[in-house]
Chain A
Amino acid sequence: MKTTITEQTTSSLLSIIIRILVFTSAAIVITGGVLYLLKYGLLISDYSTFHKEESTLTNHISVFYSALNLNPKAIIQLGILLLISIPPIRVILFQILFLFQRDWLYSCITFFVLSIFIFSFAGGMH
């Protein structure tokens, strides 16, 4: 079993990186949230039927630009995008860790998981 002191330390390092990402995405969502509530606060939204979300909010690039335009929904969505990217980033970090430890078996295993992510982002075009 390869648990060593070094692994504990790198675990802490990963933990810090994740912490930064989580708080950043939360900060973005809070910002967007406050603006959203200020803008739409008392309106009652009808979520009882499903309308496909506006296309500006479903495409990565347009979310970014809408957010720059201070569209509250887009800012929230940007924070959400960042949140969704945290698990894949974690996997990448572990990939780097395993390579660093020369743990080839787990480098391959982790790479397999990463490739599923790539496949889902590339293929999810419908």
Chain B
Amino acid sequence: MLTAIISTVSVGAGILGSLTGLGGGIIIIPLLTLVLGIDIHYAIGASLISVIATSSGSAIAHSKERFANIRAGMFLEIAATTGALTGTVITAYMAPKWAAVIFGVVLIHSAYMTILKKSFRIINSSPDKLATRLHLNGEYPTEKGICKYNLQSVPGGFFVMFVAGILSGLLGIGSGALKVIGMDQMMKIPFKVSTATSNFMIGITAAVSAGIYLKRGYIDPGIAMPVMLGVLTGAIFGTRYLRKAGTKTLRIIFSGTIVIMGIQMIFKGLTGKF
């Protein structure tokens, strides 16, 4: 019975995750801890599995690869993976509840910013020197043909990824939300590319933490099994719709989701549930 509930929600998490660039961890953790009364440690382990499943499931659909900017993702992952390692170490010393509260505030603020964004965007902004030197600029397919874009604020984006990585290692999430926001808002990367690249990145970041948490005993097969299978199913089917989905719809789904997540995080952080 428990298995059935977990798998059903996981499918939803997988679909949502593959469309928005999130890992689904933010849905999984509250579900497991608040609704099902499972200990936070197991929830963190399950969440990491969910993130990796979302990332890998999304990778299966060929079209997804063409959106993701692999070079940018890999470069930014240097920051994120380093952050993740740092995060797993911090866990031993710091109460996660404050990270949750801060994270919740950041999420809500970002949802607001994402929706506020004008739908018209300057796609061909003048190339940033550092971005060009690092070969980070890219292109992606649209109905009208190949659309090129340039990146901005490379150091800023790098720093955001580092923070995202720390949160990932600390809370067991993929930090996909923060990564998408960093790429979309700060680095001016087109939204669909940001979500696709985030899907690529979160798997890597989560895998760094997952190895360590597995050894610490946080990953329980009974919970991880329905989570993994459910999320994989959701992510594989969700990915097929990325090209067809309108960017505006995606932004709304994304923002709606993270507002809810943000409120939850603040609430739970303050009431000490972390």
Contacts and interface: CB of A to CB of B under 8 A. Distances in A.
A37 B2 CA distance: 11
A4 interface: no
Secondary structure at the B interface, as helix, strand, loop or mixed, is helix
Contacts of B219: 53, 77, 80
Interface in A60-118: 72-74, 76-77, 79-81, 83-88, 90-91, 94, 103, 105-106, 109-110, 112-113, 116-117
B74 A87 contact: no
B208 A120 contact: yes
B81 A113 contact: yes
B70 to A, nearest CB: 7
A117 B208 contact: yes
Contacts of B2: 44-45
B99 interface: no
A54 B220 CA distance: 9
Contacts of B207: 84-88, 117
A93 to B, nearest CB: 11
B39 A48 contact: yes
Contacts of B37: 47-48
A50 B39 contact: yes
B56 A124 contact: no
B224 interface: yes
A6 interface: no
A109 B225 contact: no
A84 B215 contact: no
A81 B77 CA distance: 21
Tell which of A19, A44, A113 has the most Cβ of chain B within 10 Å: A113
B38 A117 contact: no
Nearest to A112: B78
Interface of A: 1-3, 8, 11-12, 14-15, 18-19, 21-22, 26, 29-30, 32-33, 36-37, 40, 44-45, 47-54, 57-59, 72-74, 76-77, 79-81, 83-88, 90-91, 94, 103, 105-106, 109-110, 112-113, 116-117, 119-121, 124-126
